[in-house]
Chain A
Amino acid sequence: MKQNPEDLRTAGLHRGAGHIDYRETSDVTEVHSAVTREKAEPGFGSVPVPLWLMAVAGVAIFWAGAYLGMFSGGFSGDVFNELSGMPKTQTKATQGGAGGEQAKGPSVAEEGKRYFTQNCVSCHQATGLGVPGQYPPLAKSEFVNGGSRRVAMILLKGLQGPVKVSGGQFNGAMPAWEKTLTDKKISAILTYIRQEWGNKAPEITQDQIAAARKEFASRADSWTEADILAVPADANLEGGAPAAPAAEKK
């Protein structure tokens, strides 16, 4: 291709000599010697993607997929610990099994333990011993081990102000859980804490909690110690399991 570059040169400079910069002459090629000594614009070689690179891609896909499968927490919005299995898949597996396999699903106490870990453990601790002077213990607590009425009241509405538990004096605020937790979760948690750490109180059913929720619906504030003590220690919620034998109480 032969072509006279004169057009190009004038094209760049036709705006007039006034546009010529300091130290610049009208000969473009002379000024831009850096440009003229340049090598051609880069192009591409066309070496195909090597096979071993496909293998690397395969490894990456396998590794990433395995990681995703192991630690996805079932893609659930309320699973924050990547090691805590996949609840949805578990349930499906149970349902998919032969009839009568229901017992293999998590028991009420197991479920209670999970909800307890999610909601209560930061104050009352995994040991159920609480924090001396700050959060009351649940293990061997007279409120937890007594009738089901007192403990359900506390969990639903919360407890405000000074309270004496297992001989220790506390002054804090137990939050009300009625708005956060369902009847099922509350009953599971209560059953768990009443049967763990050496506690031996009977379980509390979902229906009992539902009834209690209705009964106390008009109460807006948290209870105080006086409110709780006004209820007999062995009073139970209506319906459900029979009262615990006196011998089992502390």
Chain B
Amino acid sequence: MTTQTETPSSSAVTSIEVEAVDRALIDASTRAPVMFFYTTALTWLFAATVFGVIASLKMHAPEFLGGWPALTYGRIWPAFTNTLVYGWGCPAAIGTSIWLMARLCRVALRSPAALIIGGIFWNIGVTVGVISILSGNMRPFELLEFPRSAAILLFIAYSLVSVWGLIMFNKRRSGHIYITTWYLLGAFFWFPWLYGAANVMIGHTHGAAQAGIAAWYMQGLLGLFFTSVGLGAVYYLIPKVLGRPIHSYYLASLGFWTQALFAGWTGMTRLTGGPVPAWMPTVSIAATIMMLIPLVTVTVNHVLTMYGRYDMVYYSPTIRFTIFGAFAWSLSIFAAIITSLRSVDRLTHFTQFSAGQFQLIVYAFFTMVMFGSMYYIVPRLVGCEWLSATFIRVHFWGAAYGMGLVILMLFIGGAAQGDAWLDPQLSPALVIGYFQPYMIARTIGWLLIVLAHLIFFLHFLAMLFRLGQPSGEPTLFAAIEEGGDHV
């Protein structure tokens, strides 16, 4: 381990120091847009948390807040998913992408105004969309509920970010293109493609075709966009904090291309048993089976990069969150493969199991990786360190146990529900009653998440107002004997 913290006092400086100054300038240039996206993202995450709790409560106590039409389950659930995805997920992804792009292209960001304008458009779009959903004015497709006006705003806003990302890539300083850059470039193309195509086509088709487009879009958003940004961040943060290279270039490359090739085909698994020709789900199931290749490749790469250094989860908040997310991704793909098979799908389809899979990808994988990125990035932008390791600890355990409980209850409860639905002797009322205990446990999980998010939100605000610890030592869970950076 080299100790780079000690600066030689001579006037001639080492290349390492020059590089560090260079990095500091690049980081500083991304401050305004990244912090803007992060702050709005976390505000929406808080809204999503509140919607999530209400939606969870509605499953076992529908009379709770029953007098408010805006808070009925039919509106609050799409409000939750859309706020989570478009309010929190995408801006957090954009913030992390900006920072990673600037770093990896080794170019200081020239005109942050375009990005901030994009961010403002985006947030206006999300606000319009969420208010429309709560007032009952929504389109009947999962994750495409936002009315057209909001969708256009989101598309314009993200296109600005995409164009900016491509310009950045064009101006990059020479050197090899790191795997994270591939994923981020993919994400810059995939989101406008998915969102634009889905919105245009859904307005020009009818019936089963619309359901097909919505399914393709949703799976593409999770499997191409969120997965790309999430895995891109994982591929940067783990080796960066450990100070060792990615295990294998070839595995990373294979994982990226197979993901890019097959993930877009998996959407029709959402329509198995629906009114579409049998070959459509079959093709998607075959593509989901092929996801076995990126699953194994990427997981092996992460595992072997971490090999021998798993103790880092005791010290580094970044590593703890990121590794949690990386393994949640592996689990989500594994679950997707198993449940796509018609024999299993028969049990899990049209049950809460699907809600569990959605939250496994968007929350347990993507959100946790974004938290890890924020723990790494924010101190470099605001110039002070996280206030308290205890806050970070509470955040992690609240989020991990909370979402773990939520997903477990949705999985077990969903399977039990599916089993009961398949028995024609049981009346629907009986099945719903049978499902209640799982839903109550899920609400308990949500309360843990509320606690975690509240702590993190306050912690982030403290950082935003530079109330953190003065620069110098990173905020770790426990002191490390050896030198170097582990945040």
Contacts and interface: CB of A to CB of B under 8 A. Distances in A.
- Whether A and B are associated in the same complex: the answer reads yes
B277 A79 contact: yes
Interface string B296-330: 11001000100000000000000000000000000
B246 interface: yes
A43 to B, nearest CB: 4
Nearest to B466: A23
Contact of B249 (A21, A46, A60, A77): A46
Contact of A44 (B7, B242, B245): B245
B487 interface: yes
Contacts of B277: 73, 76-80
21 contacts: A1-B15, A2-B13, A2-B14, A12-B108, A23-B383, A24-B383, A32-B28, A35-B27, A36-B17, A37-B4, A37-B485, A38-B240, A39-B240, A41-B103, A44-B178, A44-B252, A53-B300, A71-B285, A80-B277, A82-B278, A82-B281
Contacts of A3: 13, 15, 18
Nearest to B28: A12
Contacts of A67: 282, 285-286, 289
B389 interface: no
A57 B383 contact: no
A21 B301 CA distance: 41
Interface in B372-392: 379-380, 383-385
B282 A65 contact: no
B39 to A, nearest CB: 16
Nearest to A58: B293
A28 B24 contact: yes
B62 interface: no
A23 B287 CA distance: 54
Interface in A35-90: 35-49, 53, 56-57, 59-61, 63-65, 67-68, 71-82, 84
A164 B487 CA distance: 82
Interface of B: 4-5, 7, 11-25, 27-28, 103-104, 108, 176, 178-179, 235-236, 239-252, 254, 275-279, 281-283, 285-287, 289-290, 292-293, 296-297, 300, 304, 342, 379-380, 383-385, 466, 471-472, 474, 483-485, 487
Contacts of A59: 292
Nearest to B29: A12
Highest count of chain A CB atoms <10 Å: which of B7, B24, B244, B287? B24
A48 to B, nearest CB: 6
A67 B292 CA distance: 14
A34 B485 contact: yes
Contact of B289 (A41, A60, A80): A60
A22 B13 contact: no
A75 B279 contact: yes
B296 A68 contact: no
Contacts of A5: 13, 17-18, 21
A47 B248 contact: yes
Contact of B25 (A1, A2, A12, A76): A12
Contacts of A40: 16, 19, 243
Contact of B248 (A21, A34, A44, A76): A44
A217 interface: no
Contacts of A71: 278, 282, 285, 342
Chain B at the A interface: mostly helix, strand, loop or mixed?
A: helix
A78 B283 CA distance: 16
A42 B239 CA distance: 6
B70 to A, nearest CB: 39
A45 B248 contact: yes
Contacts of B275: 80
Contacts of B474: 34, 37
B243 A68 contact: no
A11 interface: yes
A180 interface: no
Contacts of B251: 47, 49, 53
A37 B484 contact: yes
B17 A73 contact: no
Nearest to B7: A29
Contacts of B385: 34
B7 A64 contact: no
A20 to B, nearest CB: 11
A8 interface: yes
